[in-house]
């Protein structure tokens, strides 16, 4: 009898051990899932895009810019649909384009990364693709509540006059029959690579016509006019044969072949949905083999404050202590005053000026990203400050495109820097945080100070001086649910 009681107790103990083990395993899995909210991989959350492109079921493309309330709403809708990503099937760039032609989708587009995310609504077995340079990988095989999401998107964009409807025709691509023996001066072309010059015209039809006339541009058939409300002209003068041009929402890719004894001229009339901040240049030999690194030829853009000027380069950052980029200045750089639209010189650049730089990313310069700048726009700090003050004075709330920098110790005390935008320029704001500051993403409290994620910030004191914001941040709510 005692033996049977002992065996029964032993069995009960084993059952208890198994149940406790199962409980802790499930608890650990729940904690892991909670930690993965909004993550694309082990260390990366979904960055706030520079713009959102929506293709509806009527094959119309719509651009949602970052300074609109609709942008924050759409970003919030999609953010947590990236939870628990997988490493799924890899598709080629052409296969992804074919998917996009078949159905509706949203693409998160970035000026500097050119590694977009595509959210598919109607593609079987494909929910989200994370793009790479020439391909993309499925990280979700489906999206939840797609019908509700499409209804929300259509409601936001259908009858809103600010949202122009674009198409994505890729047919406007012409080479001139007349070749050039030299590069014309005074037309605003910038040298992108040795023997490759380019000019992008966004809206100015008069400039476009003058450029064509000066270049003596002729084709066998009459080329159609460009609708600059919906298209952008990219004019390329090249000493290399232009073998192919590919357009995607996130970039344009030029493929060059053999060296010519004269310059050929090409006009590409691209849709406004195409990101002309990211242009790649690739060179191939007569057998089609790459002879240049595609990744080293990407155009980029950045914005910030001039933190230092020395010789032929400027440093760009958030303030005089935090530098994020180095811009190298060439002889043919175009510098414009945003407020007056006047061309200015390098000597007009001053430390502390808000600046927007377009150029070509080459490599890291120490810990900073190096850019060979070919276009610069500056604005006075007074103008940017006054526009940001209109948004923030006497308010306790800040809607920010993300935290740019954080300096918080182990006890939770310190500060963060967030940026507020006026057009393409930023105004950094220093905000104090302490161990009472709440950081929230959905049901997850103390989410932390995550960089470059859209967030709604509430202070404990109204703002009366944006250069010296008193009090502390009460809550940071990341717009991910």
Q: Residue 290's pLDDT is what? A: 66
Whether residue 413 has pLDDT greater than 80: yes
Q: Residue 157's pLDDT is what? A: 84
Q: Residue 244's pLDDT is what? A: 94
Q: The pTM is what? A: 0.62
Query: Which residues does residue 471 pair with via DSSP β-bridges, in sequence order?
Result: none
Higher pLDDT, 26 or 370: 370
Q: Residue 364's pLDDT is what? A: 55
474 band by pLDDT with thresholds 50, 70 and 90: very high
Nearest residue to 230 via CA among 269, 191, 173: 269
**Which domains does the chain carry?**
41-157 (2.60.40), 173-292 (no CATH), 299-379 (2.40.50.140), 385-478 (no CATH)
Contact status, residue 426 vs residue 304, Cβ threshold 8 Å: yes
Q: What is the DSSP string of 119-164?
A: EESS-TT-SEEEE-SSEEEEEES--TTHHHHHHHHHHHHTT-TT--
Highest-scoring range by mean pLDDT, 238-247, 354-363, 440-449: 238-247
Neighbours of 199 (CB within 10 A): 17
For 233-237, 345-349, 411-415, 477-481, which range has the lowest pLDDT when averaged over its residues? 477-481
Residue that the structure tokens 């006054």 belong to: 386
- Joined together, the tokens standing for residue 367 give 């810990």
- Joined together, the tokens standing for residue 236 give 């390329």
Q: What is the pLDDT of residues 398-410, one digit of tens each?
A: 987 788 899 999 8
């Amino acid at each position: 009898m005692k033996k049977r009681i002992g065996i029964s107790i032993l069995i009960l103990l084993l059952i208890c051990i198994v149940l406790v083990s199962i409980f802790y395993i499930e608890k650990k899995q729940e904690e892991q899932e909670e930690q993965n909210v909004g993550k694309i991989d082990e260390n990366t959350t979904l960055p706030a895009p520079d713009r959102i492109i929506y293709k509806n079921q009527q094959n119309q493309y719509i651009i949602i810019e970052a300074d609109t309330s609709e942008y924050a709403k759409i970003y919030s809708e999609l953010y947590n649909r990236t939870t628990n990503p997988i490493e799924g099937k890899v598709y080629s760039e052409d296969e992804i384009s074919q998917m996009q032609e078949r159905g509706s989708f949203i693409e998160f587009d970035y000026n500097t990364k050119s590694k977009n995310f595509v959210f598919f609504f109607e593609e079987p077995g494909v929910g989200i693709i994370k793009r790479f340079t020439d391909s993309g990988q499925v990280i979700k095989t489906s999206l939840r509540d797609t019908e509700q999401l499409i209804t929300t998107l259509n409601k936001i964009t259908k009858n809103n006059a600010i949202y122009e409807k674009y198409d994505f025709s890729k047919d406007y691509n012409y080479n001139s029959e007349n070749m050039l023996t030299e590069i014309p001066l005074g037309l605003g072309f910038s040298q992108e690579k040795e023997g490759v010059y380019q000019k992008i015209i966004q809206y100015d039809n008069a400039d476009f016509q003058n450029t064509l006339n000066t270049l003596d541009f002729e084709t066998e058939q009459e080329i159609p006019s460009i609708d600059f409300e919906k298209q952008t002209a990219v004019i390329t003068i090249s000493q290399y044969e232009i073998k192919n041009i590919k357009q995607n929402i996130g970039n344009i890719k030029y493929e060059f072949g053999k060296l010519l004894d004269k310059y050929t001229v090409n006009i590409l009339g691209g849709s406004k949905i195409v990101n002309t901040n990211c242009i790649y240049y690739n060179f191939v030999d007569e057998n089609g083999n790459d002879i240049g690194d595609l990744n080293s030829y990407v155009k980029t853009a950045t914005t910030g404050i001039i933190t230092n000027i020395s010789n032929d380069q400027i440093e760009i950052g958030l303030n005089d202590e935090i530098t994020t980029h180095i811009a190298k200045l060439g002889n043919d750089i175009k510098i414009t005053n945003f407020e007056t639209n006047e061309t200015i010189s390098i000597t007009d650049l001053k430390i502390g000026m808000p600046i927007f730089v377009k150029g070509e990313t080459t490599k890291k310069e120490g810990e900073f990203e190096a850019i060979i700048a070919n276009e610069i726009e500056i604005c006075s700090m007074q103008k940017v400050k006054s526009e940001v003050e209109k948004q923030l004075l006497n308010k306790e709330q800040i809607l920010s495109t993300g935290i740019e920098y954080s300096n918080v110790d182990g006890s939770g005390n310190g500060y963060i820097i967030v940026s507020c935008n006026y057009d393409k320029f930023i105004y950094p704001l220093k905000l104090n945080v302490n161990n009472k500051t709440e950081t929230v993403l959905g049901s997850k409290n103390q989410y932390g100070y995550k960089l470059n994620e859209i967030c709604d910030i509430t202070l404990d004191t109204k703002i009366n001086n944006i250069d010296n914001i008193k009090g502390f941040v009460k809550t940071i709510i990341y717009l991910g649910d």
